[in-house]
Every structure is written in structure tokens, then in C-alpha cells.
Amino acid sequence: MKPFPVTPQTLGIARNIIWFEPPEKALADPIRFVAYAMTYALPEDMRVIRQYVSDEDFREALDHAPAGIIDPRSWAYWNSKMGRYPPPPLPVRRFGIVTDPEELGPRQRSRSNNAEAARKLMPANRQQDGRMAWQQTRQQAASMFDLDEVRRRAREEWRAKYGPKDKT
């Protein structure tokens, strides 16, 4: 992707989109800038940005977007605008733990704790663990309270506080 020209118009847009750093620095990394623009730019700003960015450049920005910048709604929108439906998974941040045991080197493969951590981070395992934790919490909450009694009491309290008043 080619760099953005530094004009008063692009500097103003960069100042609004990436407010926490100098606009010149924001424009220096076009892929990062376009990723922020996909999430935070106004339609008027996008019209200006689209003068400098082709569809191919947009696809490149989507393919190489830094993790954590584009929200899921914007990710789905811009992928559909670029003809990608369903959209690929969002970029994910990884902090020193390999999620696929096959990616471990021969020396690291022997470290069972890293492989176990990687197994726990795999999406299917995380989803299953989360579902089991939710079911356990739900069962504990159900045994602690009689939900019909809670609803009845809440209804009575609401009626006492907000119910019909005598108009005498």
C-alpha cells in the first residue's frame, strides 16, 4: 500500500481518527491508518480517504490489519463491501503462547505446560470450558433461589412502589 499524501485535509482526518498521536505519524503507517479509519472515520472522511485508497489497498489493509483496532461490526461491514462474505476471522492478539501445538519448535514441544496452555486456548476448547462454567453457575444459582418466589416478590414490590394509586 502506498503512503498517504500529507495535505491539510489528510492531516485533519488523521487528527480526528487517531487523536492520541501526531497526524504525521498516523499517516506514516497506511495499513494501520486505514484500519483505524474503517472503525472511526465519518462518511465524509471516508470519501476523502477513498480518493487515495483503491479496493485492492483496502483488501490489503484488511488482510494485514493489526489486532484490536477494528471492531467486529466494522470488520463484517468492510469485508462485505470488499466482496468477502462470510468475513474471515478478526485478527487476534497473542501474548507469547502458541495456540497450535504443531507451531511449537522441537525444543518447546517437550514443554508440556506450554502445550497444555495452547490446548486450553484453542477456540473449541475455550468455548466448551465456557459452556461448562456457565452451566455450573446456572445450576448453583437455581439451587440458591426459587425463581418463582423471586419473581412473585419482585412483582409485589413493583406494584407497591409504582402500582395504581388511589385518586381520592
Q: Which of 64, 91, 118 is the last residue of a domain?
A: 91
Q: Which of 75, 91, 107 is the last residue of a domain?
A: 91
Tens-digit pLDDT profile for residues 60-93: 999 999 999 999 999 999 999 998 888 888 888 8
**How many domains in the chain?**
2
> How high is the pLDDT of residue 27?
94
| pLDDT higher than threshold 70 for residue 106 | no
Mean pLDDT of 24-41: 95
Same domain, 115 and 157: yes
Entry pTM: 0.57
Average pLDDT over the chain reads 81
Same domain, 41 and 104: no
Q: Does 108 or 23 have the greater pLDDT score?
A: 23
| pLDDT higher than threshold 70 for residue 103 | no
Tens-digit pLDDT profile for residues 117-165: 665 556 666 667 766 776 777 677 666 667 678 888 888 988 888 887 6
Same domain, 13 and 1: yes
> How high is the pLDDT of residue 46?
94
The verdict on residue 80 lying in a domain is yes
Q: What is the 3-state secondary structure (H, E, C) of the chain?
A: CCCCCCCHHHHHHHHHHCCCCCHHHHHHCHHHHHHHHHHHCCHHHHHHHHHHCCHHHHHHHHHCCCCCCCCHHHHHHHHHHCCCCCCCCCCCCCCCCCCCHHHCCHHHHCCHHHHHHHHHHCHHHHHHHHHHHHHHHHHHHHHHCCHHHHHHHHHHHHHHHHCCCCCC
Q: Which of 48, 65, 91 is the last residue of a domain?
A: 91
Name the pLDDT band for 115 (thresholds 50, 70, 90).
Answer: low
Range of the domain at 141: 94-162
Q: Does 68 or 113 have the greater pLDDT score?
A: 68
